[in-house]
Amino acid sequence: MIVELSDRPRISGNHNQNARKEAFHRFIGQPVSIFCSSRTDAGVHALSNVCHVDVERISKRKPGEVLTPHEPGVVKRAVNHFLLKNEGDIMVTDVRCVAPDFHARYKALERTYHYRLLSGPESTSVFETNSAWHISEDLDIQAMKKACSILVGHHDFSSFRAAGCQANSPMRTLDELSVTEVFPFMFFPSSVERSQLESSNGSLVYSRTPDIESSGKGSDLCCTSSVKSELENGEDFGKRSRHRCFVVTARARSFLYHQVRLMVGLLKSVGTGDLTTADVERILDAKTVTAAPRMAPAYGLYLANVKYDLNA
């Protein structure tokens, strides 16, 4: 069977890995081996990771008698029950029965990762702890997009291959590398925004300021006269300014060890102006990881999706 998991890792150790093994062990009544689609570093999140488990349903009353497998829904509810009792930051979101030769890692056709960056001079909210990389400088999204276009395609990614990589070849085909600005995860409307919502039937749409359109930098939200009035009256006391939130998306059949985090580190340097698009080409052509800038931390990375052909 294959199991789709969603987890938020604790930065230290392999708590979630042990939690899922223990949950399956308690449900099935025997030790199991779990094979995951992707090996993620400590601190990396999984919006959707896929594992496969080879199990037989053995009768407890007649040891040795093999019974009809449990329905996928039964497996999902039971394993989540034991995961909850084990206090793991993980849950099962889907279960399917597959052919005996299925392998979660080697049968994967495509993997998609997201990386979250928060840009702004203020420190981030405690609710964003270990969920995004905070960059105090402004990020030029247009320059970052140009850098993405250079890296997309079939290349020797040796400059984005960390020591310890076990891949036989540094050649990879990067199907997508993009950067998108989105609303911050913890978004709550202010009094002015709530008034706008009431007057627009619940639809709140912000217009960009001219300096964002031209350069990719600047304030995310227009400062309306109502907001200015709040500021002048001191009603902004205790309020935090919002960070700009950027999501880098990388999609490919497979990645080298730390490839996504190294590419995000490069895009961040381009966004802050420390590197140019010409530097991106130079670093790619250097074919050595020593040419790459600082690697992005693990906690901003999310495994978003793993694609299979389950009918093959």
Choice among 41, 89, 156, 279 that is catalytic: 41
> In 3D, which of 84, 90, 91, 104 has the Cα closest to residue 35?
104
Judged against a pLDDT cut of 50, whether residue 118 lies above it is answered with: yes
In this prediction, residue 92 carries a pLDDT of 93
Report pLDDT digits (tens) over 180-217.
999 876 666 667 667 766 666 655 454 444 444 444 55
pLDDT tens for each residue of 229-284: 554 555 555 566 778 999 999 999 999 999 999 999 999 999 999 999 999 999 99
Tokens of 40: 């993620």
Domains observed in the chain = 2-96 (3.30.70.580), 110-183+242-308 (3.30.70.660)
| Residue 113 marked in a binding site | yes
Please report the pLDDT score of residue 282 as a whole number. 98
Q: Quick one: what percent of the chain has pLDDT higher than 70?
A: 78
Q: Is 41 a catalytic residue?
A: yes
Q: pLDDT-based confidence at 161, cuts 50/70/90?
A: very high
Q: What does the pLDDT read at residue 273?
A: 98
Q: Quick check: 252 and 110 in contact, CB under 8 A?
A: yes
Interatomic CA distance for residues 267 and 274, integer angstroms: 10
51 confidence band (pLDDT: 50, 70, 90): very high
Q: What is the DSSP letter of 106?
A: T
CA distance 241 to 122: 8
Residues 6+ apart with CB under 8 A from 288: 158, 159
pLDDT at 15 over 70: no
Measured between alpha carbons, how far is 28 from 46 in angstroms, rounded to an integer?
A: 24
Of 122-136, 155-169, 230-244, give the range with the top mean pLDDT: 155-169
